[in-house]
Structure 1
Amino acid sequence: MRSAICRSDADSIRIHGLDLTTDIIGKVDLGQMAFLEIWGRLPTPEENAVFNALVVSLVEHGLTPSVLAARLTYLGAPDSLQAAVAAGLSGLGTVFVGSIEGAARMLQEAKAADATEDQIPALAREIVARFKAEKRIIPGLGHPIHKQVDPRTGRLLSIAAENGFRGRHVQLLEAVAAEAERSLDRHLPINVSGAIGAIASELGMDWRVCRGIGLIARTIGLVAHLLEEIRSPLARELWLRTEHEAQPPE
C-alpha cells in the first residue's frame, strides 16, 4: 500500500515531491497548500486567485444551522473542540453548502466541457425539464436569505472571468438559471454554492470532492464561532429559551 501524496523519514517530509520545510513553509499560503494537496501541484497565479476566492467566500455566513450545531455541541462537550467542529461540518448537506457538489455533478454529467456554445440552451432545457419532472430542487439556484441576488455570486463569477475560467460550466449554469425562471415562473438566482460548483468544474475538480471546498472553508469559520462561544456564550441561552418556548400550552 502506498500514497502519492506524502512521504516522510527521520529528516524530511515531502508532499507531492516538494520539501515541506524548504519549498513550502513560508512560501506557500493555505489556499495554495489546499490546491497542492488536491491537484498534486501548485496552482498558477490565475488558479490561485480563483481557488482562494472560492474558499474565502464560504468561511462565514452568520449563525447558520451548522454554527448552532457546533455551539450547542460545545455546550455539552467543552472538552472536545473537534467534536463541536465535526458536528457543524456534519450539517453541510444538500441544503447548506453541500449543494456545491450537486451543482458540479449536474454540470459535469451534462458534459458541459464538451458542448459548443450553441448547444448550451438545449442542455439547460433538458436539465430543468428533468429536475421539474422528478420534482427535485435544482442545485445551485435560490437562497433563503438572498432571494433576489446572492452578493457573493457576481463577485466570484467576475474573478473567474478575469482569470480565464468563465467556460462552458459557468455558461450552462447561467442558462439553467434563466431556463428555470422561465419554466418554473419564479426567480431563482444563482447562489454561491452554484457558482462555486461551476467554477470548481472549470478548474477541473471532480464533483465528488467539490463539497470539500465548503468543508475547508467552514472549518475556519466554525473555529472562530467556537472561540466566540467561549468568550461570549449564547448556546446555553439558546437551549433554555428553546426549552421554555417549546413547552405545550397549559
Structure 2
Amino acid sequence: MKSTSSFWVTSVSSITAGDIFIRGYAMQDLVGRVPFTAIAYLLLRGKLPSPGEARMMDVICSSILDYGLQKSGTIAARAVASVNPRMNAGLAAGVLGAGDFAVSPEPTGRFIKDGYAEYKASGAPLERFADDYVANLRAAKQRVPGFGHPVFRNVDPRAEKLKALAKECGVWGEVNDWYGAIHVAFRKAANKPDLVMNDVGMLAGIMAQMGFTPAEMEGLALLSTFPGLIAHVSEELRTGAINRIVADENAHYAIETRDLEKDLSVAGWA
C-alpha cells in the first residue's frame, strides 16, 4: 500500500463514476461470474480463491445457519423485534449473541494462532511439543477451546464432515495437524478418550489454515448465522406479537417485601 497522508486508507474497494471495484476487480465483471462466497473470500483475503478454497468458503458459510431457540442470539433477536419491529433491530440483537461461549470460533482461533506460532518457533517434534504444551495448559488450569460436546462422544459427526470436505477441497494442512495433535495429547492427559473435537474447533482450525484471523473467523461465523436470524426475525414480525417477556411461571422473584420507613431509620435518615 502506498504511503499517504490521508485520514482514511483502504485497499478493500473503491467507487468511480463507472463502477465499483472490489480489490481492484470491477463489480460488473464479478457479479454473475464469481459466486458470493468466492467474492467474500476475495474481500477478506485480498485475492481470488482457488476452486477448492471457494467451495470451502461455501461450506464455512453453510456450517451454522441456525440453532433455533437454543441459541441466545435467536431469542434476543425475536424479543427485540417484538418491541422494535424492524429487521435491522432484530439482526443487531442477534449478532450480540455470539461470543466466547456460543457461535464464535474466535477464542479457538486465538488459541490455535498463538499455539501454532509457539510450535513453529520451538523446532520440537510435533508429538513431544503437544504433550508438553498440554501439560503446561493443565498445570495452569487453562481451558482448551474447541474440545468437548454435551452429547457427542468419540466423534462429532459435524466436525468429521468438515474435516473430510477440507481435505477434499485441498485446504487441510499443518495447522490442522498441529491442532489435531493437541487434541490427542489432551485426551490422553485428561484420561478422556471419548472427548471430541467439536464443530467450532474444527472450523477454527480450517479457517486458520486458510489464513483467516481470529476476528475474521467470528465475522464469518456470524455471516453463516444470518439466514437463520433473518428467518426468525421475519417469522417474529409476521406473528404480530408485541413485547415478548418472561412469563411469571418461568421466573422466580427472590424478593421480600421490606419496610421502607424502618430501613431508612436504620440507615440514619431523619
Q: Under TM normalisation by the shorter chain, which class is it?
A: 0.7 to 0.9
Structure 1 residue 207 corresponds to structure 2 residue 231 = no
Cα distance in structure 1, aligned partners of 2:214 and 2:124: 24
Deviation at 1:147, TM superposition (A): 4.9
Cα distance in structure 2, aligned partners of 1:111 and 1:177: 13
1:24 equivalent in structure 2: 30
Cα distance in structure 2, aligned partners of 1:116 and 1:160: 27
Higher CA-based Rg? 2
Higher mean alpha-carbon deviation, 206-215 vs 7-16, is at: 206-215
Instruction: Sort the Cα spacing of 1:73 and 1:128 in 2 relative to 1 into closer, same or farther, 3 A.
Output: farther
- Counterpart residue type for residue 244 of structure 1: E
Higher mean alpha-carbon deviation, 175-184 vs 116-125, is at: 116-125
Q: Secondary structure of 1:140's partner?
A: coil
Deviation at 1:151, TM superposition (A): 2.2
1:149 equivalent in structure 2: 155
Match for 2:79 among 51, 72, 89? Answer: 72
Deviation at 1:25, TM superposition (A): 1.4
Q: Is the 8 A contact 1:68 1:235 kept in 2?
A: no
Deviation at 1:35, TM superposition (A): 0.4
Cα distance in structure 2, aligned partners of 1:46 and 1:9: 32
Deviation at 1:148, TM superposition (A): 5.0
Match for 1:107 among 106, 112, 118? Answer: 112
Structure 1 residue 130 corresponds to structure 2 residue 136 = yes
Cα shift readout 1:39-74 (whole Å, capped 9, x = no counterpart): 112211011111211121122222211111111111
Higher mean alpha-carbon deviation, 146-155 vs 57-66, is at: 146-155
- Counterpart residue type for residue 102 of structure 1: P
1:159 equivalent in structure 2: 165
Instruction: Sort the Cα spacing of 1:19 and 1:133 in 2 relative to 1 into closer, same or farther, 3 A.
Output: same
Instruction: Sort the Cα spacing of 1:236 and 1:134 in 2 relative to 1 into closer, same or farther, 3 A.
Output: farther
**TM-score normalised over the length of structure 2:** 0.81
Cα distance in structure 1, aligned partners of 2:111 and 2:48: 27
- Counterpart residue type for residue 111 of structure 1: Y
Deviation at 1:163, TM superposition (A): 2.1
**Percent sequence identity over aligned pairs:** 28
Q: Secondary structure of 1:70's partner?
A: helix
Structure 1, gaps ≥5 residues long: none
Instruction: Sort the Cα spacing of 1:62 and 1:146 in 2 relative to 1 into closer, same or farther, 3 A.
Output: farther
Structure 1 residue 51 corresponds to structure 2 residue 57 = yes
Cα distance in structure 2, aligned partners of 1:160 and 1:116: 27
Structure 1 residue 220 corresponds to structure 2 residue 224 = no
Structure 1 residue 245 corresponds to structure 2 residue 245 = no
CA RMSD, Structure 1 to Structure 2 (Å): 2.6
Q: Is the 8 A contact 1:153 1:195 kept in 2?
A: yes
Cα shift readout 1:171-203 (whole Å, capped 9, x = no counterpart): 122222222222222332111111111111111
- Counterpart residue type for residue 42 of structure 2: L
Q: Is the 8 A contact 1:110 1:123 kept in 2?
A: no
2:41 equivalent in structure 1: 35
Q: Is the 8 A contact 2:116 2:178 kept in 1?
A: no
2:264 equivalent in structure 1: none
1:3 equivalent in structure 2: 10
Q: Is the 8 A contact 1:229 1:235 kept in 2?
A: no
- Normalized per residue, the structure richer in helix is 1
Structure 2, gaps ≥5 residues long: 1-5, 257-270
- Counterpart residue type for residue 125 of structure 1: D
Cα distance in structure 1, aligned partners of 2:242 and 2:229: 14
